[in-house]
Structure 1
Amino acid sequence: MTEATLPDSLAEIRDEFLELPEADRLQLLLEFSQELPAAPAEYADHPELYERVAECQSPVFIVVEVADDGTVTMHATAPAEAPTTRGFASILVQGISGLSADEVLAVPSDFPQTLGLTKVVSPLRLSGMTGMLLRAKRQTEAKRRR
């Protein structure tokens, strides 16, 4: 992965994980799970606007908005009883929201594997985060063309 393609917001999150001893990284992920912003009210009564992330065992749903100026905002829902999955969703929501569509599309698909969590969470959970990222990128691509 080249640093040039990783936006500062995601690079800062990655660095925050890598600065910690491996044993403490899971705790940071759990802290991120508590910081997942609530989705806007206009989505509360319209679950059909979300896309289910099938790679996640827990019911995780995402939706990406692309403003007229190309700025991306990502929203996600994940159950509190699935804190690692919710933490991954929170990382992406916080790291992607505010970026341009081009920046989102340039995020390397292996970003989840760069957080230093491969020994503390299961490969299935990392696959779920990769699924979230790929869906966010696909939605960004589709919505910026409208």
Structure 2
Amino acid sequence: MSAELSNLPPKLQNVVQTLASAPKAFKTELLLEYAKKMPPLPEGMQGKLEQVHECTTPFYVHVELEDGRVVPYFDAPKEAPTVRAFAGMLAEGLSGYSPEEVLKVPEDFYTLAKLEEVITPLRLRGLQAVLTRLKRQVREAMPTQG
């Protein structure tokens, strides 16, 4: 599935459009702002997080469904602004949406934001791995049909 803006939930569309329209020189500043938006980890979440081994920096993700809505949790070192920016983008862009809306997000959605202008391919593969892991956890958290 290739990235199309119409496949993104509205808040993630907004994040992507903001980054895509920003001049290359300003994109890094925007990413640092998203890094600051990474929500703090609530108490008792440590043991539930799954490490995303594809990331060069220790990065952890956990998804829960609350009232049928996706709530992602992330953890990454404070000194890792790039992965914290990914977490901030995904937290802002996916929180509160239905599992079906989140599962429609293409793994390469970041191409719409033109992140390759400021982020290395290795880091972008890490972002793709985070979304892949997050979507797998969403599927696992969904009630079984039947």
Q: Name structure 1 gaps, 5 residues minimum.
A: none
**Partners of 1:26 and 1:117 within 8 A in 2:** no
State the partner residue of 1:50: 49
Length-normalised TM-score, structure 2: 0.92
TM-score (norm 1): 0.92
Of the three residues 86, 89, 107, the one matched with 1:88 is 86
Q: Distance in 2 between matches of 1:38 and 1:32?
A: 13
> How far apart, CA to CA, are the structure 2 residues paired with 1:58 and 1:108?
23
Q: CA deviation at 1:42?
A: 2.4
Root mean square deviation, CA, Å: 1.2
Partners of 1:3 and 1:119 lie apart in 2 by 19
1:111 corresponds to: 109
The offset of 1:107, in angstroms, is 0.6
Aligned residues with identical type, % of pairs: 38
1:23-68, CA deviations, whole angstroms, 9 ceiling, x for partnerless residues? 210110011111111011121xxx331010111111110100012x
Greater RCO (Cα-Cα under 8 Å, separation 6 or more): 2
CA distance in 1, matches of 2:140, 2:20: 33
Letter of the 2:43 partner, please give it.
Answer: A
3-state SS, counterpart of residue 66 of structure 1? strand
Provide the aligned length of Structure 1 versus Structure 2: 142
Q: Give the ranges of 4+ consecutive aligned residues of structure 1 lying more than 4 Å apart after TM superposition.
A: none
Listed as ranges, the matches of 1:53-132 within 5 Å are: 53-67=52-66, 69-132=67-130
